Copies of this chain bind each other. A is one copy, B any other.
């Protein structure tokens, strides 16, 4: 299982991803699901993946080495994409190329072509954007009304995002709320787990702000989890009992 959240606020972008993978319930590993392409001062692109790991790794490989684009002889790389929209199209092409290569064989093995991506960042001269790319390579762009997107095991961590995130939330509060969302998910689904990878990008800097991995036992995250648990208890205890 996987949980990744992307939050796009006025100050910039946060991407958070767990690292737990499982091939069956008894084969659990740690793999990085959050990846970055950076040309400092020119572009910084983050991509978080959910679904079948072989699919998402193949898509990342194509984006690094070159994706065949329909109607063109050239193979395009993410690092050369002129705009964020063009880059998101490229991610979509890569997903469809992998689907074309292995989709039928996966089907014969009774496996679905399961993959989704959060893709966000900024290329100099263009706006900062965040996209969710689906397993058919189609995609949606994050808007201002609900300035976050999620992939994987998204439900446990959605209530806090629904209630706490607005476009005006500052970047480090957005990161904190994203970590609370991740903590809620890990608490309710053991198939989402530490370490957690974080990426923040400040708008118009075109470079990584923060790239960090939270390991098990890290004091800040342990404290956040405990404080959140305590605060939830205090919060429901402060609500009057039903009058019925």
Contact = CB atoms under 8 A, between A and B. Distances in A.
Interface stretch (A44-52, A136-144, A153-161): A153-161
B244 A212 contact: yes
A228 interface: yes
Interface in A205-231: 210, 212, 220, 223-224, 227-229, 231
Interface in A20-66: none
A188 B173 CA distance: 21
A136 B85 CA distance: 48
A236 B177 contact: yes
A223 B223 CA distance: 30
Contacts of A177: 236
A188 B162 contact: yes
Interface stretch (A68-76, A111-119, A179-187): A179-187
A243 interface: yes
B176 A188 contact: no
Interface of A: 155-156, 158-160, 162-164, 172-173, 175-177, 179-180, 184, 187-188, 198, 210, 212, 220, 223-224, 227-229, 231-244
26 contacts: A155-B155, A155-B156, A156-B158, A159-B184, A159-B187, A159-B188, A160-B232, A163-B232, A164-B232, A172-B241, A175-B241, A176-B236, A176-B241, A176-B242, A179-B242, A180-B236, A220-B240, A220-B243, A220-B244, A223-B240, A224-B239, A227-B239, A231-B235, A232-B232, A232-B235, A234-B235
